[in-house]
């Protein structure tokens, strides 16, 4: 793996398999009460420009379970909020900490942080990608289905950071990916260029959710209005009418089709209450696996950095 986890587009299938295998091992150890074999005393700097529940708790609990400590930094708590250049923050934190995770808006901010940091940097969410979430999704799918390669993964909704990450992660792992988005809300051109160039799996982009759901083994959806887009909420409700994962959509999928949602869910918009509750165990397995997938990423990146 590279020094940092900035986006799934940077990873190979071998990289993702290593993360998932490590996450499975760490999950089994944690369930069995076995202490993880990792040097104690490591410190994770956690930079949050966007609010969070799952990201903060899973990273903070994760570094604690690895024998380390997490330091929460919001814009209000740090000099970043007062205009300190990201490159200065990167060089300072590199002298105090062993790893940095950042949850922010612009992908370039994460890229710049990694450029100037001498310690690993983890993208915990940007407007471009949400790699840690999709690693947890892939772990959950593999747990339930026993494999990734050859499965059909359908994504229905906004062509946002989740869509970009699902396309990248799914295709890299040999899944056949079908994405349904309104024409004005398509995934990022960089992601689509990657998807169209790959030959190991099929990729389909449509504006019809029924096409995407046809014969799917996994259906993933996300909110129609992401953080920072609240002013577009009513406009988006109109644009995404018909993109709700409901019984009609599920009837088109393969028997035993899984449902994944990164949460929080807006029941009655992108997914019905009925479908959500029928697949709640899968969805909350997915939420739990944020902890294990992120522990794997932290462990692997810090181990790699320690050997340099």
- 144 CB contacts (<8 Å, ≥6 apart)? 258, 282, 285
Q: Report how far residue 167's alpha carbon sits from residue 169's, in angstroms, rounded to the nearest whole number.
A: 6
Q: Rounded to 5, what percent of the chain is helix, strand, coil?
A: 50, 15, 35
Coil, helix or strand for 96? helix
Structure tokens at 176: 């056949």
Structure tokens at 143: 């747990």
Q: Report how far residue 59's alpha carbon sits from residue 297's, in angstroms, rounded to the nearest whole number.
A: 10
Q: Report how far residue 125's alpha carbon sits from residue 111's, in angstroms, rounded to the nearest whole number.
A: 12
User: Is residue 22 a contact partner of residue 296, using CB atoms and an 8 Å limit?
Assistant: yes
Active site residues: 103, 130, 133, 222, 262, 290
- 15 CB contacts (<8 Å, ≥6 apart)? 1
Coil, helix or strand for 175? coil
Residue 159: closest CA among 113, 221, 90: 221
DSSP 8-class letter at 195: H
Matching residue, tokens 């393969």:
254
């Amino acid at each position: 793996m590279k020094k940092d986890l900035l986006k799934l587009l940077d990873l190979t299938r071998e990289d993702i398999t290593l993360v998932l295998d490590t996450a499975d091992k760490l999950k089994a150890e944690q369930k069995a009460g076995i202490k993880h074999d990792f040097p104690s005393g490591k410190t994770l700097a956690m930079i949050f420009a966007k609010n969070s529940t799952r990201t903060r708790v899973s990273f903070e609990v994760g570094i604690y379970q690895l024998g380390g400590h997490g330091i929460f930094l919001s814009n209000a708590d740090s000099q970043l909020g007062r205009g300190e250049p990201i490159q200065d923050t990167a060089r300072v934190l590199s002298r105090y900490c062993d790893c940095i995770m950042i949850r922010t808006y612009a992908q370039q901010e994460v890229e710049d942080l990694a450029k100037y940091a001498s310690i690993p940097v983890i993208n915990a969410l940007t407007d471009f990608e949400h790699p840690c979430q999709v690693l947890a999704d892939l772990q959950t799918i593999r747990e339930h289905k026993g494999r990734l390669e050859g499965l059909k993964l359908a994504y229905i909704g906004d062509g946002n950071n989740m869509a970009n990450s699902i396309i990248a992660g799914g295709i890299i792992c040999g899944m056949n990916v079908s994405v349904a988005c309104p024409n004005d809300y398509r995934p990022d051109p960089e992601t689509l260029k990657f998807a169209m160039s790959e030959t190991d799996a099929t990729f389909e982009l449509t504006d019809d959710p029924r096409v995407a759901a046809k014969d799917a083994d996994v259906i993933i959806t996300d909110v129609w209005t992401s953080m920072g887009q609240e002013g577009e909420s009513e406009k988006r409700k109109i644009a995404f009418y018909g993109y709700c994962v409901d019984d009609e959509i599920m009837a088109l999928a393969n028997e035993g089709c899984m449902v994944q949602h990164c949460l929080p869910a807006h029941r009655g918009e992108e997914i019905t209450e009925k479908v959500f509750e029928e697949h709640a165990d899968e969805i909350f397995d997915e939420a739990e696996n944020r902890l294990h997938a992120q522990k794997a990423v932290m462990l692997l990146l810090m181990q790699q950095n320690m050997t340099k």
